[in-house]
């Protein structure tokens, strides 16, 4: 942050032939779906980057212009812009979307019209600044996607970014609007949005693993002991988060509270260097919590250095006030306070609350400025470290912060911290919807306090279901308040919850190759890793109904967010499955799509469905460190009706320049009862040696019973399949065969028996239900499923149990 060129906005002009200019107004056609309209009485039109806008240089679209008096009609293949040439008004600025939207009306916009979040008819919502103190649902800000086919971004009050990375106000007030009109073409709308505001960045592999966090005054030895117990339980974590008690909190009341701090509490951490080194040896990265609001005070180790750098007399003991609008302060803040801690081994800064919403620069949100400057500094420091060590990191942009959402464009500064939620079922029930809907503004990397933060209830089932959702979330960060009864260690819960939680935490680390691939796709193709079903099926009305289901890459997750039935010990969640065939990755049950499905699951299972013809690539060993691609991989294969499946694995290219190695995976069934498989590298792929296993779900080996990869029991949670481990192979060019396999006979009778056996109902009802099931099984399920359900209903089988049996008989 030098002082050179601080008043020169960073240029981001549009194509020279894309603008139409009149007296005090300018219209820019950025794409057939995206137009910018500006009004400024002084003709101070902005061509530089703003807090929101990164780029306006789109390919020049085809458009026509017709003038009438002082007005103009601009037309693309998709939009008609009618403007009277005067200061913007509802009568004078009108844009019509000419392509079909999700609803047959409401696709005309007039200036000043309120954008309302209404998933049935209007805007589908974006996200919110925080969930602090929320018990259940929170109100969402508008997003880019809408049922009526358009959205409007008002960038009028956005500040300008300068060439040296600072910000300056606009020269004069005016109006600066971006109109997105896309009908139901959501993919194109988001592509335009990312082109305009910047791509979703890559994040480092380690961030995709499990994070351990707790608001608790850990000591060095207590934390080491905790990690040792996690190791004994074979529960992996890749990020260690230390809340505010890492620093001195007991300060002289004359200088304020202990929330802000940058000096290690030596009573708890007598040797921070040794402590951080130990965490790194365990393959963990370290995040420290900071509340910058109180500035740098006299008790801090960095105080005299900071005071001297800012020309203050350190002998006076006067505080160095926090001022995010001062380049001099922020330079000292990073260089003299944060960088020395990073040199000790701190990897990620968790930027917490209390800075307020106002600064000395009108319109500048201190949260946005902190996120922006911290993330940019983290990227610069990563480059410095790579140059010093002469080694490659995961990518030049593989840096992260942890902080709250600060408005549109915040997707450029991952990761989001959603705040301190209340520990209730209602809060859990809101988070899947909240997480997926954030993809409507490109905010792909929310991190929640998994398990809930404070108050609410201590409930074993709730904690376990929340953790399962966390495993299938963007970031899985366990966190809790300073309560002796709120900690999230799995061994604090009774069996079977402890074992279930531990296995799911292991499975999260096995998902990292799949998640990393999905992340790369989001960076390159604007397809969010976690997104609502309507992103891919915008014209299907049912895709908008069950708001808690979402795509997890190519998988569909259907989180369970309500308690189980006391009779069946099964919990229910509902979803609409898109057309095609789908297989639950845990149970192996197959479903035909294009319909609504009620899923019933015991505590140890969670509905996650893979598309027919898909492949997901997992790490075979959950305990491998996440700093590098895993040595052993397992491809979980779901053959389609034609007997084929295809998948992609993307890994870091290894050159430190952000390149990718892509491996295309194909699997097919052969007439002789064998399964063939081939993997080929493409693009910048390099030779990649690994131990490879292929597991084909729905099949089994003739000489074994559902073989397993031996590394980790969390793979045993998965649906059984025919398995072959090939030993060391080169993914850049591999071809192999699984011999001696056949289609697995997955008995419906067995699954229904397990449901009945688990249920706590009258034995006579159980026995009568089982007799009905066996009788219909002998006749053949293809012709008798419906009549079986009717007989069970007549027999008095209660609704939850009947629903669970109906799911098996689909």
How far is the C-alpha of 552 from the C-alpha of 570, rounded, in Å? 23
Q: Which of 473, 465, 468 is nearest to 518 (CA)?
A: 473
**Does pLDDT of 101 surpass 80?**
no
Strands 555-557, 550-552: parallel, antiparallel or unpaired by DSSP? antiparallel
Radius of gyration of the chain (CA): 28
Residue 495 CB contacts under 8 Å (≥ 6 apart), including other chains: none
Taking residues 514-519, report their average pLDDT: 96
pLDDT at 705: 44
Are 303 and 255 contacting, i.e. CB atoms less than 8 angstroms apart?
Answer: no
pLDDT at 417: 96
Q: Which of 405, 273, 419 is nearest to 346 (CA)?
A: 273
List of E strands, 585-720: 590-592, 595-601, 608-611, 614-619, 632-638, 644-652, 660-669, 675-683, 689-697, 699-701
Question: pLDDT tens, 242-284?
Answer: 999 999 999 999 999 999 999 999 999 999 999 999 999 999 9
How far is the C-alpha of 127 from the C-alpha of 441, rounded, in Å? 7
pLDDT band at 8 (very low <50, low <70, confident <90, very high): low
Taking residues 135-155, report their average pLDDT: 96
3-state SS, residue 668:
strand
First to last CA, the chain: 62
Residue linked to tokens 């209660």: 798
Question: pLDDT tens, 378-399?
Answer: 999 988 877 776 444 443 347 9
How far is the C-alpha of 801 from the C-alpha of 807, rounded, in Å? 10
Task: Please state the pTM of the whole predicted model.
Answer: 0.94
CA distances in angstroms from 68 to 35, 398, 559, listed in the order given: 20, 52, 55
Q: Which of 683, 688, 686, 678 is nearest to 629 (CA)?
A: 688
Share of the chain above pLDDT 70, in %: 94
Quickly list DSSP for 406-417: -STTGGGS--EE
Residue 618 CB contacts under 8 Å (≥ 6 apart), including other chains: 510, 511, 513, 514, 633, 634, 635, 636, 715
How many of the other CB atoms lie within 10 Å of CB of 622?
A: 26
Q: Which of 47-51, 422-426, 558-562, 792-796 has the lowest mean pLDDT?
A: 792-796
Mean pLDDT of the chain: 92
What are the beta bridge partners of residue 98? none
pLDDT band at 712 (very low <50, low <70, confident <90, very high): low
DSSP symbol at 212? E
DSSP symbol at 141? P
pLDDT band at 735 (very low <50, low <70, confident <90, very high): very high
How many of the other CB atoms lie within 10 Å of CB of 537?
A: 18
Are 147 and 102 contacting, i.e. CB atoms less than 8 angstroms apart?
Answer: yes
Q: Which of 405-419, 540-554, 654-668, 720-734 has the lowest mean pLDDT?
A: 654-668
The torsion defined by the Cα of 568, 571, 575 and 579, in degrees rounded to 10, comes to -60
Reported as type and span, the H/E element at residue 225 is helix 220-232
Are 808 and 802 contacting, i.e. CB atoms less than 8 angstroms apart?
Answer: no
pLDDT at 720: 86
Strands 595-601, 571-577: parallel, antiparallel or unpaired by DSSP? antiparallel
Query: Cα dihedral sign for 708, 714, 716, 717?
Result: negative
How far is the C-alpha of 54 from the C-alpha of 409, rounded, in Å? 9
Q: Which of 40-54, 95-109, 524-538 has the lowest mean pLDDT?
A: 95-109
pLDDT band at 355 (very low <50, low <70, confident <90, very high): confident
Residue 104 CB contacts under 8 Å (≥ 6 apart), including other chains: none
Q: Which of 148-152, 337-341, 652-656, 785-789 has the lowest mean pLDDT?
A: 652-656
């Amino acid at each position: 942050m030098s002082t050179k060129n601080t008043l020169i906005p960073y240029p981001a002009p549009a194509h020279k032939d894309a603008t139409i200019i009149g007296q005090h107004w300018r219209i820019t056609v950025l794409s057939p779906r995206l137009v910018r309209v500006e009004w400024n009485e002084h003709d101070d039109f902005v061509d530089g980057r703003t807090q929101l806008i990164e780029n306006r240089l789109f390919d020049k679209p085809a458009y026509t212009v017709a003038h009438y008096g002082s007005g103009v009609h601009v037309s693309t293949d998709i939009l008609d812009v009618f403007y009277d040439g005067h200061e913007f008004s509802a009568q004078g600025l009108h844009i019509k979307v000419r392509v079909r939207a999700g609803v047959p009306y409401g696709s005309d916009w007039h200036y000043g019209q309120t954008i309302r979040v209404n998933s049935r008819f209007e805007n589908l919502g974006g996200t919110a600044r925080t969930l602090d103190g929320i018990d259940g649902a929170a109100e969402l800000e508008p997003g880019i996607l809408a049922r009526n086919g358009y959205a409007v971004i008002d960038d009028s009050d956005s500040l300008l970014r300068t060439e040296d990375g600072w910000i300056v106000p606009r020269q004069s007030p005016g109006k600066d609007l971006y109109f997105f009109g896309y009908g139901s073409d959501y993919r194109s709308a988001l592509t335009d949005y990312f082109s305009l505001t910047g791509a979703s960045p890559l994040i480092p592999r380690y961030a995709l693993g499990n994070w351990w966090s707790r608001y608790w005054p850990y000591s060095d030895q207590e934390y080491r002991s905790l990690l040792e117990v996690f190791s004994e339980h074979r529960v992996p974590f890749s990020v260690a988060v230390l809340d505010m008690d890492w620093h001195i909190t007991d300060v002289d009341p004359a200088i304020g509270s202990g929330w802000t701090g940058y000096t290690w509490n030596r009573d708890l951490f007598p040797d921070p260097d040794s402590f951080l080194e130990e965490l790194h040896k365990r393959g963990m990265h370290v995040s420290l919590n900071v509340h910058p609001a109180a500035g740098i005070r006299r008790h801090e180790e960095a105080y005299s250095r900071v005071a001297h750098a800012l020309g203050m007399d350190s002998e006076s003991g006067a505080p160095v006030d926090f001022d995010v609008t001062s380049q001099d302060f922020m330079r000292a803040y990073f260089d003299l306070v944060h960088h020395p801690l990073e040199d000790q081994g701190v990897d990620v800064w968790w930027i917490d609350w209390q800075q307020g919403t106002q600064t000395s620069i009108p319109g500048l949100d201190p949260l946005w400025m902190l996120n922006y400057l911290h993330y940019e500094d983290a990227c610069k420091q990563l480059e410095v470290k790579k140059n010093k060590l002469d080694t490659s990191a995961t990518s030049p942009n593989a840096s992260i912060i942890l902080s709250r959402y600060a408005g549109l464009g915040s997707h450029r500064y991952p990761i989001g911290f959603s705040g301190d939620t209340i520990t209730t079922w209602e809060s859990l029930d809101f988070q899947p919807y909240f997480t997926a809907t954030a993809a409507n503004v490109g905010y792909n990397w929310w991190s929640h306090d998994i398990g809930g933060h404070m108050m609410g209830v201590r409930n074993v089932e709730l904690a376990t279901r929340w953790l399962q959702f966390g495993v299938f979330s963007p970031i899985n960060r366990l966190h809790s308040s300073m309560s002796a009864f709120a900690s999230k260690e799995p061994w604090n819960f009774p069996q079977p919850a402890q074992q279930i939680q531990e296995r799911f935490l292991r499975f999260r680390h096995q998902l990292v190759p799949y998640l990393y691939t999905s992340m790369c796709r989001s960076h390159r193709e604007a397809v969010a890793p976690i997104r609502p079903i309507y992103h891919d099926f915008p014209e299907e009305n049912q895709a908008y109904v069950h708001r808690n289901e979402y795509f997890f890459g190519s998988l569909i997750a259907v989180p369970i967010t309500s308690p189980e039935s006391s009779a069946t010990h099964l919990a229910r969640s509902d979803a609409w499955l898109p057309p095609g065939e789908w297989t639950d990755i845990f149970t192996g049950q197959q479903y035909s799509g294009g319909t609504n499905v009620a899923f019933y699951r015991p505590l140890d299972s969670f509905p996650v469905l893979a598309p027919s013809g898909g492949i997901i690539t997992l790490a075979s060993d959950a305990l491998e460190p996440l700093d590098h691609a895993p040595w052993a991989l397992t491809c979980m294969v779901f053959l389609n009706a034609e007997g084929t499946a295809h998948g992609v694995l993307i890994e870091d290219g290894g050159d430190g320049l952000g390149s990718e190695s892509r491996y295309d995976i194909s699997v097919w069934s052969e007439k002789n009862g064998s399964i063939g498989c081939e993997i080929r590298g493409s693009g910048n792929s390099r030779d990649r040696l690994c131990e490879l296993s292929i597991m084909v779900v729905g099949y089994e080996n003739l000489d074994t019973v559902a073989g397993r990869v031996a590394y980790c029991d969390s793979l045993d949670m998965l649906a059984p399949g025919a398995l072959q481990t090939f030993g060391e192979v080169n993914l850049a060019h591999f071809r192999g065969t699984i011999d001696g396999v056949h289609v697995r006979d997955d008995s419906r009778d067995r699954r229904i028996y397990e449901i009945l056996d688990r249920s706590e109902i009258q034995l006579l009802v159980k026995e009568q239900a089982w007799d009905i099931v066996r009788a219909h099984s002998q006749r053949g399920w293809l012709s008798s499923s419906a009549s079986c359900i009717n007989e069970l209903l007549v027999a008095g089988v209660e609704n939850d149990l009947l629903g669970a049996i109906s799911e098996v008989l689909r």
